[in-house]
Amino acid sequence: MLSTQTISVVKSTVPLLQEHGLEITSTFYKQLFEENPQLLNIFNRSNQRDTSQSSALADAILAYASNIDNLEALLPAVSHIANKHASIGIEKEHYPLVGASLLSAIQKVLDLPDQHPALIAWKEAYEALAQIFIDAEANLYKTSEESDGGWQGYRPFIITDIRQETPDVKTLILQPKDNKKVKGFLAGQYVSIKLPASDGQHDAIRQYSLSDWGGHYQITVKEEAKGEVSPNIHSHTVGSELLLSPPFGEFTLNLDAKKHVFISGGVGITPLFSMLKQAVSLNNQQDELLFIECCRSAEYQIFKEQLTSLANNASVQLKQVFEHGPGGDLNGRLTLKALDEWLDDKSAHVYFCGPMPFMKELKKLLNSIGFADEHLHYEIFGPTAAL
């Protein structure tokens, strides 16, 4: 338990963190990787090319300082981040390395002398938070490894089939190389794919949603023109091997909800399609499910045939919004009017995923037509952030 003095000192640093947080975290990452280059085998280097990772960490540090006397408020965020950490293989020995670089960055940016009360307080506060994460992640590792078909670390899988969804999206069907049982998963969860280092570079790890539900593992990957990993994955063929982490993640169906609505933007459909399939299996035809698919055009529809089949044969209402070209229920962008008309039951739980600008605007629209935040569920592909 943190001392009253530590809590008081950490809270007093909130204004400084609001002003200098991004500079502190940018300095932190630079120093962390200079002193511990082995961590580049874990961290996503693409997130270091802009301020997204630094901004996310700055927000997290500020939230911790602001709520250090009310840590229960942070538990949902801790659980979410712990799942991401477990997916990429963060271990307890990494935390002292991170702590040393973070305290050094705080001292450098704020120009504090050694043994300054703020540094002493933040050291204690960081160690307390690190232990919370260490314990949470140890529990996730233990639960995964002890599950039927579970494992810890990375397990080799073989690509047994490849399906071209759109000009830039492929679905890969995977089965374990040892042909043994694999851990079950909840619709909406993800795995990490690890590409071992080549040509003297570092390992690359990316997280991909398990894009179907019903027993097998599959991922659906958009090839990013400037991507470090997705072009490599797209170059794989049937019979190629990929290293997978166990499934993790908390973006899953609320089984207490009476009605589910899904809204996808582009490749953000990947966790939502899996969740739709699970919702159909649980629905027993009692209540219609609404799926709103937003994409560039009919050519860029992912899971086109499967969605059409579900809409024809199950209690699924499918609405399609095409930014360009004909064929959709709405052309252009999703509007307030269309949302208010299609989502007539404001007690429904809404799950959405897609590009960050899409989700930010969508959340505003959903709030404005009467949806409470506790009924809105979303997943961000990238550093943890709030909409």
Burial of residue 265, with CB atoms counted within 10 A of its CB: 0-12 exposed, 13-18 middle, 19 or more buried: buried
Beta partners for 322? 295, 331
Residue of 114, 5, 106 whose CA lies nearest to 62: 106
Please name the residue that has the structure tokens 């993800």: 190
**Catalytic pick from 29, 95, 154, 378?**
95
Per-residue pLDDT of the chain (387 residues; tens, 9 = 90+): 889 999 999 999 999 999 999 999 999 999 999 999 999 888 887 777 777 788 888 899 999 999 999 888 888 889 999 999 999 999 999 999 999 999 999 999 999 999 999 999 999 999 999 999 999 999 999 999 999 999 999 999 999 999 999 999 999 999 999 999 999 999 999 999 999 877 668 899 999 999 999 879 999 999 998 888 999 999 999 999 999 999 999 999 999 998 999 999 999 999 999 999 999 988 755 568 999 999 999 999 999 999 999 998 778 999 999 999 888 999 999 999 999 999 999 999 999 999 999 999 999 999 999 999 999 999 988 666 656
The answer to whether residues 296 and 267 touch, using CB atoms and an 8 Å cutoff, is no
- pLDDT score of 196: 86
The answer to whether residues 352 and 263 touch, using CB atoms and an 8 Å cutoff, is yes
- pLDDT score of 158: 98
DSSP secondary structure letter of residue 245: P
CA 232, CA 235: separation in Å to the nearest integer? 5
DSSP letters, 315-335, are SEEEEEEESSSSSSSEESS--
The answer to whether residues 292 and 321 touch, using CB atoms and an 8 Å cutoff, is yes
CA 63, CA 328: separation in Å to the nearest integer? 42
Cα within 13 Å of Cα(139), Cβ side: 8
CA of residue 71 relative to chain centroid, distance: 22
3-state SS class at 350: strand
- Phi/psi of residue 361, each to 5°? -65, -40
DSSP secondary structure letter of residue 115: T
Q: Is 95 a catalytic residue?
A: yes
- pLDDT score of 384: 63
Angle made by CA atoms 8, 25, 251, in degrees to the nearest 5: 90
pLDDT in tens, 315-369: 899 999 999 988 899 999 999 999 999 999 999 999 999 999 999 999 999 999 9
Sign of CA dihedral 269, 272, 274, 279: negative
Q: Is 137 a catalytic residue?
A: yes
The answer to whether residues 189 and 251 touch, using CB atoms and an 8 Å cutoff, is yes
First to last CA, the chain: 31
Burial of residue 55, with CB atoms counted within 10 A of its CB: 0-12 exposed, 13-18 middle, 19 or more buried: middle
CA 332, CA 322: separation in Å to the nearest integer? 6
Longest distance between any two alpha carbons in the chain, whole Å = 69
List of domains in the chain: 4-146 (1.10.490.10), 155-244 (2.40.30.10), 260-379 (3.40.50.80)
- pLDDT score of 139: 97
* Range list of H helices, the chain: 4-12, 14-35, 52-66, 75-88, 94-110, 117-146, 230-234, 269-283, 304-313, 336-342, 356-368
CA 91, CA 172: separation in Å to the nearest integer? 29
In this prediction the pTM is: 0.93
The answer to whether residues 245 and 153 touch, using CB atoms and an 8 Å cutoff, is yes
Beta partners for 301? none
**Catalytic pick from 126, 137, 378, 379?**
137
- pLDDT score of 286: 57
pLDDT in tens, 123-161: 999 999 999 999 999 999 999 999 999 999 999 999 999
Angle made by CA atoms 183, 179, 218, in degrees to the nearest 5: 55
Give the pair of three-digit tokens for residue 347.
């007690």
Buried b (16+ CB within 10 A) or exposed e, 316-347: bebbbbbbeeeebebeeebeeebbeebbeeee
